[in-house]
């Protein structure tokens, strides 16, 4: 089991902003999957909560990833920024996928480069 966070590179977020947005994505994905996929969350917690961060050049890539993830019943959470600091309100910053089966997530995101 693992959780994948896909970071939108087009926003040119600073390192601290990326860290905060990935934190939001991880927590919300965990909470959401706890309701929709509790067995996956239990396994993920027992296995050490593996998390991977990858990057995509454009937020438009989130649409295809979300659609494919939903087709496979993979939990999805998209973070949109509140607009208080560096980037415009509502900007899609990070897409979290999982926690879910590692093989399924690798098939979905394996083409993306590590952050």
Q: What is the DSSP string of 27-78?
A: HHHHHHHHHH-HHHHHHHHHTT--EEEEEES-TTHHHHHHHHHHHTT--EEE
Distance CA(82)–CA(88), nearest Å, equals 8
**CATH number, residue 109:** 3.40.1490.10
How many domains does one find in the chain? Answer: 1
**Residue 109 belongs to domain spanning:** 2-114
pLDDT in tens, the chain (115 residues): 999 999 999 999 999 999 999 999 999 999 999 999 999 999 999 999 999 999 999 989 999 999 999 999 999 999 999 988 889 999 999 999 999 999 999 999 999 999 9
Strand partners, 21: none
């Amino acid at each position: 089991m693992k959780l994948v966070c896909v970071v939108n590179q087009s926003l040119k977020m600073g390192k601290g902003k990326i860290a905060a947005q990935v934190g939001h994505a991880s927590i919300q994905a965990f909470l959401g999957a706890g309701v929709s996929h509790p067995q996956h969350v239990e396994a993920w917690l027992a296995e050490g909560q593996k998390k991977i961060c990858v990057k995509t050049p454009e937020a438009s890539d989130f649409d295809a990833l979300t659609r494919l993830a939903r087709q496979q019943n993979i939990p999805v959470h998209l973070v949109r920024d509140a607009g208080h600091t560096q980037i415009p309100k509502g900007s899609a910053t990070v897409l979290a996928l999982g926690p879910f089966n590692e093989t399924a997530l690798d098939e979905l995101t394996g083409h993306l480069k590590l952050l």
